[in-house]
Amino acid sequence: MSDLFARHRAVMPNWLALYYNEPIEIVGGKGNRVVDASGKSYLDFFAGILTNMIGYDVPEVREAVERQLATGVVHTSTVYLLRGQVELAEKIARLSGIENAKVFFTNSGTEANETALLLATYARRSDQVLAMRQSYHGRSFGAISVTSNRSWKNNSLSPLNVHFLHGADRHLTQFRGLSDADYIAACVDDLRHVLATSVGGDVAALIAEPIQGVGGFSMAPDGLFAAYKEVLDAEGVLFISDEVQTGWGRTGSAFFGIQNHGVTPDMMTFAKGLGNGFAVGGVVARGDLMDGPHAAGLATFGGNPISMAAANATLDYVLDHDLQANAARTGALIIDGLRHAAPRLPIVGDVRGKGLMFAVELVDPATGAPSPAIAARFMEETKKAGLLAGKGGLYGNVLRMAPPLTLTQDEAAEGLGIIVNALETVNAEVTS
């Protein structure tokens, strides 16, 4: 055990998960690669959990932050005008497609979701919320209460009255083998049944991730959320799309993940990639919903000048370089390659993804049961070969990968090669 690992164990919480038998310390980064303390280089296919969205040491972001630092002002608070906030809010409001959109900036995704839930429960005068099974929305009481993954829930304490819906769980016996259309119909039936049987009075909102991040990139078939929204609209129930992982073109086929469903939500929450590593989150919502609450509110550090400089530079970079198109191109290369390899690898239970957000589900080839042990072996194997991947899924058996949107075709091919080699090595071990 390295000295730093031992010191980490002594003073950091046990529940703060670390990857790898011998966790690494990342000390440098450039482009889409990082270097650890031993000098080993890695192609980064996890990007600080989808946060280093345009890679490392990006001159445009560094220079924007340095310009702000040079003013001497790191923080002023929102009781003064903040040019960076207004500029970024204007861009996000325009990109959101939400009517008369307004934006509130926070420091994290958790806080963004808390804000959206507050706006919805306030507007609807209801504490009842719908969320999706297998979801993850953050670590505060409100966010945990709409989270549906036992590994991330320490208790059932909840400020909200929550009911969980189907939609990203077609592996369940009752849905297996259904076409997209039949699965959507079954889920909509269930939503109507929940509204008829499980709630009392008005429901405030549905909150959903278009692609479930911690849930192992499980996703509803395109169109499910449009079908849900039709039912919800009939009762005035609001729809919050949690875009913390899926925003800014990552899915390739849409700028915000929910647009893959052909639907515009009432609110979207965001965080992670927007600041390319600088802490920024927020909510973009219909103006009437955002303006609704009568009490004053602020987030002291939310949208501070440094994070706004980084976020404006990052978002401009994504748009100027059309990184959504790059995500579509490079993501397709990798996903197609993985799908091509899967039939000869019995440890692979499923390959799924959209753009630069893709996952491989690992199973015991003898039983088809989820295998976190095989996933852990894959992690060690890719680490050895110089690629960083992530893990997730309800059973910890899903490899999830989401490289920076700046990934080149060569890097995509290189990463695909490493992933397939690692899968072959582990597959040979398991099946021999």
Ligand X SMILES: Cc1ncc(COP(=O)(O)O)c(C=O)c1O
Q: Is 301 in the site for ligand X (CB under 6 A)?
A: no
Stretch binding ligand X (CB under 6 A), from 91-99, 134-142, 165-173, 184-192: 134-142
Let me know: does 208 contact 135? Beta carbons within 8 Å.
yes
Q: Is 137 in the site for ligand X (CB under 6 A)?
A: yes
Instruction: State how far the Cα of 23 lies from the Cα of 77, in Å rounded to an integer.
Output: 37
Name which of 156, 149, 111 is nearest 133 in CA terms.
Answer: 149
Q: Which is nearer to ligand X, 282 or 331 (CB)?
A: 282
Smallest distance from ligand X to CB 281, Å: 6
Q: Is 354 in the site for ligand X (CB under 6 A)?
A: no
Q: Which two tokens stand for residue 256?
A: 């915000």
Which position among 48, 55, 84, 109 is part of the footprint of ligand X (CB under 6 A)?
109
Q: Which two tokens stand for residue 355?
A: 């753009």
Smallest distance from ligand X to CB 198, Å: 24
Smallest distance from ligand X to CB 349, Å: 22
Smallest distance from ligand X to CB 200, Å: 28
Name which of 46, 25, 2, 8 is nearest 415 in CA terms.
Answer: 46
234-293 residues in contact with ligand X (CB under 6 A) are 242, 244-245, 271, 281
Q: Is 114 in the site for ligand X (CB under 6 A)?
A: no
Beta strands in 299-353 (DSSP E): 348-353
* Count of residues in contact with ligand X, rule CB under 6 A: 15
Stretch binding ligand X (CB under 6 A), from 131-139, 183-191, 293-301, 386-394: 131-139
Q: Which is nearer to ligand X, 268 or 362 (CB)?
A: 268
Which position among 48, 142, 167, 213 is part of the footprint of ligand X (CB under 6 A)?
213
Q: Which residue is nearest to ligand X (CB)?
A: 109
Name which of 378, 373, 348 is nearest 363 in CA terms.
Answer: 348
Query: Read out DSSP for 39-96?
Result: S-EEEESSHHHHT-TT-BS-HHHHHHHHHHHHTT-S---TTS--HHHHHHHHHHHHHH
Instruction: Name the strands in the sheet holding 348-353, side by side, starting at the edge strand that comes first in the sequence.
Output: 348-353, 358-362, 398-401, 390-392
Q: In the complex, which residues of this chain contact ligand X (CB under 6 A)?
A: 108-110, 113, 136-138, 209, 213-214, 242, 244-245, 271, 281
